[in-house]
A and B are shown apart, each in its own frame.
Chain A
Amino acid sequence: RKEVEQDPGPFNVPEGATVAFNCTYSNSASQSFFWYRQDCRKEPKLLMSVYSSGNEDGRFTAQLNRASQYISLLIRDSKLSDSATYLCVVNIPGLYSSASKIIFGSGTRLSIRP
């Protein structure tokens, strides 16, 4: 079983729709969680961190469910420019900072159509 699993998609939704992705992680020691966005042929870029209480950044909302070990990303009023691959990232701390393990999911591809 992969340590971080995402539905690869693609999700193909019309502009203005609301879309949600989930990501599950297997290690209960995971402590920090992030969503990255990766455009085609570009590097991943941090979209937002995910906090226990949930957090919102404009049209984007991230949630964490530690009991069920998943995080989610909700995009409201989707725009054409939201088309990208969204990577779920989990940080598993080690005894010291250099030993922490950062695991990337394979990504969920989102395509917004006009």
Chain B
Amino acid sequence: DAGITQSPRHKVTETGTPVTLRCHQTENHRYMYWYRQDPGHGLRLIHYSYGVKDTDKGEVSDGYSVSRSKTEDFLLTLESATSSQTSVYFCAIRGTGEETQYFGPGTRLLVL
């Protein structure tokens, strides 16, 4: 299995609070991604990174920001959590020249 972990694995928070999710990889892969998965929508890309300090928006980036200060870590921040951001969040990694993405175990976030 790819060396990719996410923390926390579960979180309950209140509307209006900031939340940061962490993705950590030990594969030294260049590309990292944050997705959310909701029933009926499948996996939707929030943000991705193609190198340290290089990030770009995905299709559902509103209300989210990311940072990548080291190759191994990709942080996703919900600036002010809303109930619509209740979801399962997956991080994925991909090596240069590869097409396959490998996923972390996911973070279940509940915003009350």
Residues of A within 8 A of B (CB): 8, 32, 34, 42-46, 49, 87, 91, 97-98, 102, 104-107
**Number of B residues whose C-beta is below 8 Å from A?**
22
Q: Mostly helix, strand, loop or mixed at chain B's interface? A: strand
Interface of A is mostly: strand
Given contacts A97-B96, A98-B50, A98-B56, contact A45 B42 (CB under 8 A): no
Q: How far is the CB of A71 from chain B (nearest CB, A)?
A: 14
Q: In the assembled complex, which residues on chain B have CB atoms less than 8 Å from the CB atom of A43?
A: 90, 103-106
Contacts of A106 in B (CB 8 A): 40-42
Taking A44-B103, A91-B99 as contacts, is the C-beta distance between A98 and B42 under 8 angstroms? no
Give the contacting residue for B43; candidates A44, A46, A49, A98; CB below 8 A.
A44
Give Cα distance in the complex from A8 to B66, angstroms: 31
What are 17 A-B pairs with beta-carbon distances under 8 A? A32-B99, A34-B100, A43-B90, A43-B103, A49-B100, A87-B42, A91-B99, A97-B31, A97-B50, A97-B97, A98-B31, A98-B48, A98-B54, A102-B101, A105-B42, A106-B40, A106-B41
